[in-house]
Amino acid sequence: AQTVTQSQPEMSVQEAETVTLSCTYDTSESDYYLFWYKQPPSRQMILVIRQEAYKQQNATENRFSVNFQKAAKSFSLKISDSQLGDAAMYFCAYRSAAGTDKLIFGTGTRLQVFP
Protein backbone atom coordinates (compact mmCIF):
# COMPACT_ATOMS: atom_id res chain seq x y z
CA ALA A 1 0.00 0.00 0.00
CA GLN A 2 1.10 3.53 -0.68
CA THR A 3 1.88 5.94 2.12
CA VAL A 4 2.64 9.64 2.29
CA THR A 5 4.69 11.20 5.08
CA GLN A 6 4.96 14.84 6.03
CA SER A 7 7.45 15.13 8.86
CA GLN A 8 6.98 18.84 9.58
CA PRO A 9 3.80 19.44 11.58
CA GLU A 10 4.41 23.20 11.59
CA MET A 11 6.56 25.63 9.67
CA SER A 12 6.85 29.38 9.77
CA VAL A 13 8.21 31.96 7.37
CA GLN A 14 8.46 35.70 7.17
CA GLU A 15 6.63 37.56 4.50
CA ALA A 16 8.62 37.78 1.24
CA GLU A 17 10.93 34.94 2.29
CA THR A 18 11.11 31.42 0.90
CA VAL A 19 10.01 28.25 2.66
CA THR A 20 10.22 24.57 1.72
CA LEU A 21 7.74 21.95 2.88
CA SER A 22 8.86 18.32 2.82
CA CYS A 23 7.02 15.22 1.67
CA THR A 24 8.14 11.65 1.16
CA TYR A 25 6.09 8.76 -0.11
CA ASP A 26 6.34 5.04 -0.48
CA THR A 27 5.11 3.10 -3.47
CA SER A 28 6.08 0.19 -5.66
CA GLU A 29 4.36 1.74 -8.67
CA SER A 30 6.24 3.48 -11.44
CA ASP A 31 3.39 5.62 -12.76
CA TYR A 32 1.55 7.97 -10.45
CA TYR A 33 0.74 11.60 -9.71
CA LEU A 34 1.70 13.82 -6.81
CA PHE A 35 -0.14 16.87 -5.57
CA TRP A 36 0.14 19.65 -3.05
CA TYR A 37 -3.16 20.90 -1.68
CA LYS A 38 -3.74 23.99 0.45
CA GLN A 39 -6.46 24.05 3.10
CA PRO A 40 -7.10 27.52 4.55
CA PRO A 41 -8.99 27.86 7.83
CA SER A 42 -12.29 27.93 5.89
CA ARG A 43 -11.48 24.28 5.09
CA GLN A 44 -12.02 24.29 1.31
CA MET A 45 -9.13 22.30 -0.13
CA ILE A 46 -7.46 23.95 -3.13
CA LEU A 47 -4.98 22.38 -5.54
CA VAL A 48 -1.65 24.20 -5.50
CA ILE A 49 0.47 22.17 -7.88
CA ARG A 50 0.66 18.73 -9.46
CA GLN A 51 3.48 16.54 -10.80
CA GLU A 52 3.28 13.58 -13.12
CA ALA A 53 5.83 10.94 -12.14
CA TYR A 54 6.84 10.30 -15.75
CA LYS A 55 7.92 13.91 -16.17
CA GLN A 56 11.47 14.68 -15.13
CA GLN A 57 10.92 18.43 -15.17
CA ASN A 58 9.80 19.88 -11.88
CA ALA A 59 6.39 21.57 -11.94
CA THR A 60 6.10 25.30 -11.34
CA GLU A 61 3.04 27.49 -10.74
CA ASN A 62 3.95 31.14 -10.22
CA ARG A 63 5.52 31.36 -6.73
CA PHE A 64 5.10 27.63 -6.10
CA SER A 65 7.52 25.00 -7.33
CA VAL A 66 8.36 21.43 -6.47
CA ASN A 67 11.54 19.42 -6.15
CA PHE A 68 10.58 15.95 -7.35
CA GLN A 69 13.17 13.27 -6.68
CA LYS A 70 11.66 10.03 -7.97
CA ALA A 71 14.46 7.71 -6.87
CA ALA A 72 14.41 9.15 -3.38
CA LYS A 73 10.57 9.26 -3.37
CA SER A 74 10.66 12.86 -2.28
CA PHE A 75 8.33 15.67 -3.32
CA SER A 76 8.97 19.00 -1.60
CA LEU A 77 7.09 22.25 -2.15
CA LYS A 78 8.92 25.56 -2.31
CA ILE A 79 6.98 28.77 -1.78
CA SER A 80 8.85 31.87 -2.88
CA ASP A 81 8.05 35.45 -1.86
CA SER A 82 5.69 34.20 0.84
CA GLN A 83 2.51 36.17 1.38
CA LEU A 84 0.18 36.39 4.36
CA GLY A 85 -2.46 34.60 2.31
CA ASP A 86 -0.21 31.55 2.04
CA ALA A 87 -0.89 30.72 5.68
CA ALA A 88 -2.78 27.42 5.71
CA MET A 89 -2.46 23.67 6.12
CA TYR A 90 -0.60 22.09 3.23
CA PHE A 91 -1.19 18.48 2.31
CA CYS A 92 0.91 16.33 0.06
CA ALA A 93 -1.08 13.69 -1.81
CA TYR A 94 -0.41 10.66 -3.99
CA ARG A 95 -2.59 9.19 -6.68
CA SER A 96 -1.97 5.99 -8.56
CA ALA A 97 -2.20 6.10 -12.35
CA ALA A 98 -4.08 2.79 -12.22
CA GLY A 99 -7.32 1.89 -10.52
CA THR A 100 -9.54 4.54 -8.97
CA ASP A 101 -8.36 8.10 -8.62
CA LYS A 102 -8.45 8.20 -4.83
CA LEU A 103 -5.97 10.50 -3.18
CA ILE A 104 -3.72 9.35 -0.36
CA PHE A 105 -2.85 12.29 1.86
CA GLY A 106 -0.10 13.01 4.33
CA THR A 107 -0.88 14.42 7.76
CA GLY A 108 -0.24 17.98 6.69
CA THR A 109 2.05 20.88 7.54
CA ARG A 110 0.67 24.04 9.09
CA LEU A 111 2.38 27.06 7.58
CA GLN A 112 2.42 30.33 9.46
CA VAL A 113 3.46 33.53 7.69
CA PHE A 114 4.69 36.42 9.81
CA PRO A 115 4.67 40.04 8.63
Partner 1 sequence: GAGVSQSPRYKVAKRGQDVALRCDPISGHVSLFWYQQALGQGPEFLTYFQNEAQLDKSGLPSDRFFAERPEGSVSTLKIQRTQQEDSAVYLCASSLVQGASYEQYFGPGTRLTVT
Distance CA 104, CA 15 (A): 30
Closest approach of partner 1 to the CB of residue 55, in Å: 10
Which of 30/42 has CB closer to partner 1?
42
Please report how close the Cβ of residue 42 comes to partner 1 at its closest, in angstroms: 7
| Nearer residue to partner 1 within complex by CB, 28 or 100 | 100
Instruction: Answer whether 112's CB lies under 8 Å from 45's CB.
Output: no
> Given the complex with partner 1, which of 64 and 105 has the nearer CB atom?
105
Q: How far is CA 63 from CA 36, 38, 101, 102, 113, in A?
A: 13, 14, 27, 27, 15
Measured between alpha carbons, how far apart are the two ends of the chain, in Å? 41
Between 11 and 103, CB nearer to partner 1 = 103
User: Closest distance between partner 1 and the C-beta of residue 3, in Å?
Assistant: 11
Would you say 114 and 12 are in contact if contact means Cβ atoms under 8 Å apart?
Answer: yes
Which residues contact partner 1 by CB under 8 A?
A: 4, 6, 33, 37, 42-47, 50, 52, 91, 93, 97, 99-108
